[in-house]
Amino acid sequence: MTDRHFDAVIVGAGFAGMYMLHRLRTMGFSARVFEAGSGVGGTWYWNRYPGARCDVESMEYSYQFSDELEQEWKWSERYAAQPEILRYANHVAERFDLRRDIQFDTRVKAAVYDDPTGRWLIELADGAKVTAAYCIMATGCLSSTNTPNFKGLDAFKGPCYHTGRWPHEGVDFTGRRVGIIGTGSSAIQSIPIIAQKAKHLFVFQRTPNYAVPARNAPMDPEFERRFKANYAQLRAKAKQARTGNLYPISEKPALEASEEERRLEYQARWDKGGLGFIGSFADLLFDKAANDTATEFIRSKIREIVHDPEVAKTLSPHSVVGCKRLCIDTGYYETFNRPNVSLVDVSTSPIEKITENGLEANGKEYELDAIVFATGFDAMTGALFRIDIRGIGGQALKAKWSAGPRTYLGLATAGFPNLFTITGPGSPSVLSNMLPSIEQHVDWIADCMGHMRNRGLTRIEATVAAEDAWVAHVNQVAERTLFPSCNSWYLGANIPGKPRVFMPYLGFPTYVQKCNEVVRNGYEGFRLSEK
Ligand code: NAP
């Protein structure tokens, strides 16, 4: 193989791309990673906004493919902050000598399947071309940023920032009037930090969000020691849970508990902190009446924390908790007690325009020195659609998925042979702990490539029938839940014009079982051939 022709091209050097490269190299495949950023880390390379921190506990948000790596790395806090996770990604890159096969500052422009040769032709932004037998998209679920097309977007004379593309040198908001648009996870993490520096912070909220305290703390050495001594068992236990996380999910339905029992359970989970709140009762994501008991508890906390009853009311959501990803905060609601923070409700009259001096909302101009867009991402499909991906007969992926993504297992799509997506739509991905999900996908793909090589096979393609059945199943599972009840990015509802289709698959253990069964049944649902 020359440096223009590879067994596999991998797009993206986040956690998915890094491990994919490592696995394939270990198996003797030639692979090249192309990465738009100047370093590894993906999400954790780009999202450097103040307060950026993982909402999965650090002992669980890490690779498990190497015992040595697991044992040697030390996390300093219960929830790792972005700089520490990025240090971890760099450590992995060095430890496994990954950088020599990663080309940074290189965006992939197009990936086209060439029928006659059965190879993928990959075109880079600078016009260079390479070919590969397999094209593997490790492009991330939340990597294509969304900046709403506000009127006058270019008119503002001050700086604008997006949380998902934060300047590497950081931003000093000292003494500045700052406007932040959005109240999702990114905003909820950054608002308390920005408020400490800004002269005044205006928070433009369209939809209030539920946040429970993270209760972040320095890593307890005894907890770490016990965790490391039992890593394999704990990882195995996590894989039996719906989300692939270790927080307990109660088997008891909320509606079978007494009011007092519910209050005690919610309070205990609130005190413990973290995403585990949603596991308080078995039916929270399935039964609206059950969910109402949890939302009322959170609203009561907001009323307790926020001094001004009007502000507390505006901050209080009435949607289903967990329908949008639950936010984990450190001092979010408390921040609205500060005299230099104002909440601006833009739910009934949207932000009208960005002006030279700030922005207009509710018929009023807010004068600002800086604007922060915490407006999220074109999730799951956005990063794939930025690449011109074409399969058999030149069919564009974007056209094939125009009514919503169609995949088999979130790994492959019919008409696009030898194309794999790591944590693609139709897989647990964002409804699970991303790191174990990534490793499961990478292992499945690598094993599949090994299987094909051993049998002299060169082409694998999902069948339309298997794909149709899987898409129907993903929808059926979602319909049994409360997830379709709000305008979340899981449904693509945050992007104007995007089809409303629930994209991730709920249920890590059932999913893994299905993937393993497919392999046991000779890659059932895929067509494997020599050419
Ligand atoms: P997000 O959850 O999509 O939030 C975007 C926010 O911007 C929403 O409040 C949205 O309001 C608002 N918005 C969008 N367009 C608007 C417009 N035209 N006018 C006014 N407001 C507008 O994005 P995110 O906060 O970046 O989080 C995305 C996901 O990334 C999270 O759900 C999570 O999975 C992940 N994340 C995780 C962490 C963590 O690990 N702790 C941290 C950050 C992000 P509406 O709700 O009304 O649309």
pLDDT along the chain (531 residues), means of 10: 84 98 98 98 98 97 98 98 98 98 98 97 96 98 96 95 97 98 98 98 98 98 98 97 94 97 98 97 98 98 98 98 97 98 95 96 96 98 98 98 97 98 97 97 98 98 98 96 95 94 96 98 97 77
Q: Which residues pair with 202 in a beta bridge?
A: 179, 342
CA distance 263 to 298: 11
- Dihedral of alpha carbons 331, 336, 341, 344, sign: positive
User: How far is C-alpha 171 from the geometric centre of its chain's CA atoms?
Assistant: 24
Q: Which residues lie closer than 8 Å to 335 by C-beta, 6 or more apart?
A: 191, 192, 195, 341
| DSSP-assigned beta bridge partners for residue 204 | 181, 344
* Best probe residue, ligand 1, of 86, 203, 206, 344 (max atoms within 8 Å of C-beta): 206
pTM, to two decimals: 0.97
CA atoms of 31 and 24, how far apart (whole Å): 7
Q: What is the pLDDT of residue 516?
A: 98
pLDDT of residue 194: 98
Q: Determine the atom of ligand 1 nearest the C-alpha atom of 164.
A: 26
In the prediction, which pLDDT does 1 show?
43
Per-residue model confidence (pLDDT) at position 417: 98
As for ligand 1, residues whose beta carbon falls within 6 Å of it are 53-55, 142, 148, 163, 181-187, 189, 204, 206-207, 325, 328, 346, 350-351, 374-377, 430, 489, 494
Say what the pLDDT of residue 531 is: 77
For atom 18 of ligand 1, the residue with the nearest CA is 148
Atom of ligand 1 nearest to the CA of 350: 19
Taking the centre of ligand 1 as the mean of its atom positions, its distance from the CA of residue 186, in whole angstroms, is: 6
Which residue minimizes the CA distance to atom 15 of ligand 1?
375
Cα–Cα distance measured from residue 237 to residue 248, given in angstroms and rounded to the nearest whole number: 11
Angle formed by the axes of helices 15-26 and 434-454, nearest 10°? 30
User: Chain centroid to CA 11: how far?
Assistant: 17
Alpha carbon distance 410, 505 (integer Å): 9
